[in-house]
Structure 1
Amino acid sequence: MKNYSIEIKWALRFTLLTLAWSIGEKTIGLHDENIANYGMYTNLFVFPAILFFYLAIQEKKKYIFNNSMTWTQGFVSGIIISFIIALLNPAVQYVIYKSITPHFFENIIAYKVKNHYMTLENAKVYFNLKTYMIESTFTGLSKGIITGALVSLLIRNKK
């Protein structure tokens, strides 16, 4: 377990980042009065997400691999971080949509239907807690693995 303490630490930090980001979105109204801008601004999460992966893999390189890390070593670290985040994700989604912003799904459904982006039936199928838990878990896992691969490519120094 000690071999993975850095990955666990950064996965927990990433989880807290996700919760903080959600609180920020809620605070500036992206989950209600400014919901029309939600899709655009929620994608900005990619920047702190990449930064967290960079810092995590850099820490692994420094403290575990004595500043000499191959791409594969960094990539494996990124996979482990992504997997831990994916395991925690359903609980995070539950907290977000039951505690932080309990009316989000009602608001986004109303917005999508009112603006003729989706039918009510399609919006209800897509915008619900179960769908978000599943989608965000698998999307996060795949994006995390890709991010880990790219970050590892940038910070590797041993072939």
Structure 2
Amino acid sequence: MNRYRIELKWAVIFTLMMLGWLFLERLAGLHDVYLAYHPTYTNLVAIPAAIVYVLALRDKREHYYGGEMSYRQGFTAGVVMTVMVAVLSPLAQLITHTIVTPDYFTNVIRYSVEQGYLTQAEAEANFNLSSYVFQAFIGSLVLGLLTAAIVAFFVRRRGT
């Protein structure tokens, strides 16, 4: 496990960053009053997410690989971190929807039905904890692997 200590540390940091982001969304009213703007502004989380991946791979390069890291080593570290983030994502969703923003599902179901986007049954099927746990797990894997592939390219460093 010592081999993956850095990835675990950054997976926890990433998860805490996501929880913080969701808390800020709630404070900004994106989970209730300004729910219509949520789909747009929630995507801005990609910026701090990418920054966390950059910092994680730089940490791995400097403190595990001695300042030199190939693309393959960086991508592998990113994959390991991504899997850890995905494993933590169900817990993060549980915390989000029970502590951070417990009324989110009620609000988004009501909004979707009132706007005519979905029927009540469709909204309830889409907006629930099990659906969000599944989406978060798959989404973190897909987007994490993509981010790891890109960041590893820029963080790699060959010896001189």
Q: Structure 1-normalised TM-score?
A: 0.97
Distance in 1 (alpha carbons) for counterparts of 2:154 and 2:117: 40
Offset at residue 157 of structure 1 (A): 2.4
Offset at residue 158 of structure 1 (A): 3.2
Distance in 1 (alpha carbons) for counterparts of 2:79 and 2:139: 13
One-letter amino acid matched to 2:47: F
Offset at residue 101 of structure 1 (A): 0.8
- 1:119-158 aligned within 5 A: 119-158=119-158
State percent identity of aligned pairs: 35
Offset at residue 121 of structure 1 (A): 1.4
Do residues 11 (structure 1) and 11 (structure 2) align? yes
Which residue of structure 2 lines up, in the alignment, with residue 77 of structure 1? 77
One-letter amino acid matched to 1:64: Y
Q: Structure 2-normalised TM-score?
A: 0.96
Task: Write the deviation string for residues 90-131 of structure 1: whole angstroms up to 9, x where unpaired.
Answer: 011001001111110010011111111112111111110000
Distance in 2 (alpha carbons) for counterparts of 1:152 and 1:67: 14
One-letter amino acid matched to 1:35: L
SS, match of residue 141 in structure 2: helix
Do residues 90 (structure 1) and 95 (structure 2) align? no
SS, match of residue 86 in structure 1: helix
Task: Write the deviation string for residues 30-77 of structure 1: whole angstroms up to 9, x where unpaired.
Answer: 111111111111110000000000000011111111221111100010
5+ residue gaps, structure 2, are none
Offset at residue 143 of structure 1 (A): 0.6
Which residue of structure 2 lines up, in the alignment, with residue 53 of structure 1? 53
One-letter amino acid matched to 1:123: A
Which residue of structure 2 lines up, in the alignment, with residue 25 of structure 1? 25
- 1:80-119 aligned within 5 A: 80-119=80-119
Aligned pair count reads 159
One-letter amino acid matched to 1:52: V
CA RMSD of aligned residues (A): 1.1
Distance in 1 (alpha carbons) for counterparts of 2:29 and 2:134: 25
Distance in 1 (alpha carbons) for counterparts of 2:103 and 2:55: 34
SS, match of residue 143 in structure 1: helix
